[in-house]
Amino acid sequence: MIGQKIVILGGTGQFGQHLGEKLQEENDIFISGSSIDRAKEVAERYGWKYGEGTEIVKNADIVIVAVPISVTEDVIHEVGPHVPDDALFTDITSVKQMPVEAMSEYSEEVLGMHPMYAPSNSIRGQKIVMCPEKGKKWTVMEEFWERHGGDLHFTEPETHDRAMSLVQGLMHFSELVVADVIRKSELSGDEMEEFSSPVYQLITDLTARMLNQKPGLYGSIQAENPENENVRERFIESAEDIREIIGDEEAFAEKFDDLGEEFDLEGAQDRTDMVIEFLSKEVR
């Protein structure tokens, strides 16, 4: 894409800045932020333009919504009436049904996107979920991600949200529960580390990695995906079901074997063996 007016709503955030840097070559970048002062500060740092969202979206070629999930729908409806009918209206939130439906009210060119990586990482090799909803202009973003080496996956918004209820909703919820149980235990962190195997350390490090992020992001992921409530209910039901068969060797073995059918056991063994070997070398 060349000579495009690209508006990033929430361009002061980490991912907004990340996208602006990648898209600024041969394009005009306009950003908005939580305040006009913050937008001015970031825009001047990169040589971009800035302004209020409802103003800068006028005559835009591409409008990217990069605000927190909890305010995404409000922002879309606020700026939507000012977005040109033929502008590509897209977003980068981790929930897709809600923003895609909202953006479709205002533009004939709509794309839901979910870049599944942190802005501190390179795009190369990272999964980017694409949910083209209306029009054909979404291919400019397809070309952008491909040029930077992204691993693109195409699906419907509903399918995306169902998948994310497991990939994000379930996994993050289970990590929160594990963290709370550990917090309530009588062992200190140092004592736990003394008796930790590499596998335990890996699991707790992944939990700690999540807890090192902003709570608002993970709270929104739990609250905004309409599929997550059912997943949390199933998590609690499964915990109760498995607790009931502890001590019944036959029932436990049957459940254990049944659960294994859902996974790539050999592949998981190989991948985790490599990680464990690496972790073991690190502590020697």
Percent of the chain's residues with pLDDT above 90: 80
What pLDDT, on a 0 to 100 scale, did the predictor assign at position 192? Answer: 78
Collect all residues with Cβ–Cβ distance below 8 Å to 20 and sequence separation of at least 6: 6, 8, 11, 29, 31, 46, 48
Q: What DSSP character marks residue 81?
A: G
- The rounded distance, in Å, linking the Cα atoms of 80 and 151 is 30
Q: Is the pLDDT of residue 253 over 70?
A: yes
Q: What is the rounded average pLDDT for all residues in the chain?
A: 93
What pLDDT, on a 0 to 100 scale, did the predictor assign at position 1? Answer: 67
What pLDDT, on a 0 to 100 scale, did the predictor assign at position 249? Answer: 96
The alpha carbon torsion through 100, 104, 105, 108 (nearest 10 deg) reads 160
What pLDDT, on a 0 to 100 scale, did the predictor assign at position 18? Answer: 97
**69 contacts 220 by C-beta, under 8 angstroms:** yes
The SS3 of residue 155 is coil
The tens digit of pLDDT for each residue in 211-236 reads: 998 898 899 889 989 899 999 999 99
To 10 degrees, what angle do helices 198-211 and 265-282 make?
A: 90
Q: Is the pLDDT of residue 282 over 80?
A: no
What pLDDT, on a 0 to 100 scale, did the predictor assign at position 3? Answer: 87
> Strand pairing of 127-134 and 109-115?
antiparallel
**78 contacts 54 by C-beta, under 8 angstroms:** yes
Confidence class for position 198, pLDDT limits 50, 70, 90: confident
What pLDDT, on a 0 to 100 scale, did the predictor assign at position 217? Answer: 85
- The rounded distance, in Å, linking the Cα atoms of 96 and 159 is 9
Q: Is the pLDDT of residue 45 over 60?
A: yes
Q: Is the pLDDT of residue 120 over 90?
A: no
What pLDDT, on a 0 to 100 scale, did the predictor assign at position 191? Answer: 79
Give the chain's domains with CATH numbers.
5-150 (3.40.50.720), 159-282 (1.10.3660)
